[in-house]
């Protein structure tokens, strides 16, 4: 149920035109131009658009806490939704692998997450959507992937390629083969044979994946590519009609994505850490060069808020220019015209931050209270 009509007063509110202290109204799950209902004094707080997390797999900690001890998946997703709300995230893309790698990345696990998502989404207050991360060389699975997207209205598909092609081509040892094989419930020999078989069909992939990308887009999915290393990689995807670049690993790949006119998504933890944990391009530097349209939680749900606060603190961007990287920027990429900004008629998605500490005090998604704690709660219930 939505909150009753109310309007927020005396807060610093980030609207599309900048900071203002004008009242912000909420009624029927949307924002209003008029000051409706009871006045809520939020002096000492910042009110910003709710965070739209365009790519995050932190939910895995909730649906599969330990190998071989799967908890109820629907309950796990609801627990993840609570964590999202605590971190100011009002819309989340749950990034689920569909991969030969097995375990939490297997097709069977993906189908289980898809089924659980359909049940949890009806209950969770943050708006939960699915991103399917598809391994390009799983050619025999392409019809099933397209069916899943169509049948379950999966909003986004991103292509990956995690095969160690150089080592497979040279017949060299595959790092961590035994451990990854055990996670996939295969013997090392069977796991290696599968990788070799997929690698052997590499010449079939370009034409087939281009056709799949077109079919997925025709089914309504937003299609992207992940971890591009070279400008040539970006150019290939552009020819396939795929312009969204997630986590380009090099400056050259990011520049090529921008030259192709595509959107660029970077990892917020890269900003938090001051660099990539894998030695890839610095997200902070790319943001400073205008080579970023959205920051994603990746694997850590506190990261988006913390990243934009760090960008502001370092003087890379003022907060009002950094915050759109986690609100209106990802919303636009995902085709959500009804959120990402605080403007009359849009979804009432907002996060309330303590102006002094920048901690999340409250999260409202679609006009429903998702999270509230501390002193701010007394102002709403008084």
CATH number for 32: 2.30.40.10
Query: How high is the pLDDT of residue 31?
Result: 98
Residues 178 and 326 in one domain: yes
Residues 219 and 256 in one domain: yes
Query: How high is the pLDDT of residue 166?
Result: 96
Residues 87 and 109 in one domain: yes
Could you say which of 323, 338, 353 is where a domain stops? 338
Query: How high is the pLDDT of residue 67?
Result: 57
Whole-angstrom distance, CA of residue 11 vs CA of residue 319: 16
- Residue 157's closest CA among 198, 230, 101, 215? 215
Contacts of 102 (CB under 8 A, 6+ apart): 180, 183, 184, 185, 186, 191
Query: How high is the pLDDT of residue 68?
Result: 54
Residues 149 and 172 in one domain: yes
Query: How high is the pLDDT of residue 52?
Result: 98
Residues 282 and 320 in one domain: yes
The total number of structural domains in the chain stands at: 2
Q: How many CB atoms within 10 Å of residue 140?
A: 9
Residues 303 and 346 in one domain: no
CATH number at residue 56: 3.20.20.140
Residues 212 and 309 in one domain: yes
Residues 43 and 64 in one domain: no
26 is written with which tokens? 């909420």
Query: How high is the pLDDT of residue 274?
Result: 79
Per the CB < 8 A criterion, the answer to whether 349 and 88 are in contact is no
Residues 101 and 133 in one domain: yes
Query: How high is the pLDDT of residue 183?
Result: 84
pLDDT in tens, the chain (382 residues): 689 999 999 999 999 999 999 999 999 999 999 999 999 999 999 999 999 999 999 999 998 766 555 568 999 999 999 999 999 999 999 999 999 999 899 999 999 999 999 999 999 999 999 999 999 999 999 999 999 999 999 999 999 999 999 999 999 999 999 999 988 889 999 999 999 999 999 999 999 999 999 999 999 999 999 999 999 999 999 999 999 999 999 999 999 999 999 999 999 999 998 766 666 889 999 999 999 999 999 999 999 999 999 999 999 999 999 999 999 999 999 999 999 999 999 999 999 999 999 999 999 999 999 999 989 999 988 7
Whole-angstrom distance, CA of residue 14 vs CA of residue 48: 5
Residues 283 and 169 in one domain: yes
Residues 26 and 2 in one domain: yes
Query: How high is the pLDDT of residue 71?
Result: 62
- Domain range for 348 is 1-50+339-382
Residues 13 and 79 in one domain: no
């Amino acid at each position: 149920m939505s909150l009753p009509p109310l309007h927020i007063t005396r807060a610093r509110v980030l609207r599309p035109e900048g900071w203002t202290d004008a009242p912000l109204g909420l009624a029927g799950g949307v924002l209003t131009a008029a000051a409706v209902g009871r006045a809520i004094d939020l002096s000492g707080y910042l009110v910003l658009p709710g965070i739209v997390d365009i790519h995050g797999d932190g939910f895995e900690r909730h649906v599969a806490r330990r190998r071989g001890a799967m908890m109820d998946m629907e309950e796990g997703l609801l627990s993840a939704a609570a964590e999202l709300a605590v971190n100011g995230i009002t819309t989340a893309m749950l990034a689920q692998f569909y991969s030969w790698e097995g375990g939490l990345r297997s097709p069977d696990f993906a189908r289980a997450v898809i089924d659980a998502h359909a049940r949890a989404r009806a209950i969770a207050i943050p708006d939960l959507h699915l991103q399917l991360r598809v391994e390009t060389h799983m050619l025999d699975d392409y019809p099933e992937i397209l069916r899943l997207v169509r049948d379950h209205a999966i909003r986004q598909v991103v292509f990956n390629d995690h095969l160690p092609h150089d080592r497979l081509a040279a017949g060299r040892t595959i790092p961590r083969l035994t451990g990854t094989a055990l996670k996939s419930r295969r013997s090392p020999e069977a796991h290696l044979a599968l990788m070799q078989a997929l690698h052997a069909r590499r010449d079939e992939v370009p034409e087939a994946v281009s056709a799949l990308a077109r079919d997925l887009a025709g089914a309504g999915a937003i299609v992207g590519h992940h971890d591009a290393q070279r400008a040539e990689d970006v150019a290939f995807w552009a020819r396939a009609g795929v312009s969204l670049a997630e986590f380009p690993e090099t400056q050259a790949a990011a520049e090529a994505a921008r030259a192709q006119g595509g959107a660029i998504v970077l990892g917020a933890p890269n900003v938090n850490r001051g660099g990539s944990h894998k030695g890839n391009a610095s997200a902070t530097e790319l943001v400073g060069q205008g080579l970023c349209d959205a920051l994603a939680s990746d694997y850590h749900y506190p990261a988006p808020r913390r990243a934009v606060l760090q960008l502001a603190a370092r003087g890379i961007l003022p907060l009002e220019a950094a915050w759109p990287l986690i609100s209106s920027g990802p919303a636009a990429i995902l085709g959500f015209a009804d959120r990402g900004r605080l403007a009359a008629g849009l979804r009432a998605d907002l996060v309330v931050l303590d102006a002094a500490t920048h901690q999340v005090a409250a999260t409202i998604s679609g006009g429903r209270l998702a999270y509230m704690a501390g002193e701010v709660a007394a102002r709403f219930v008084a």
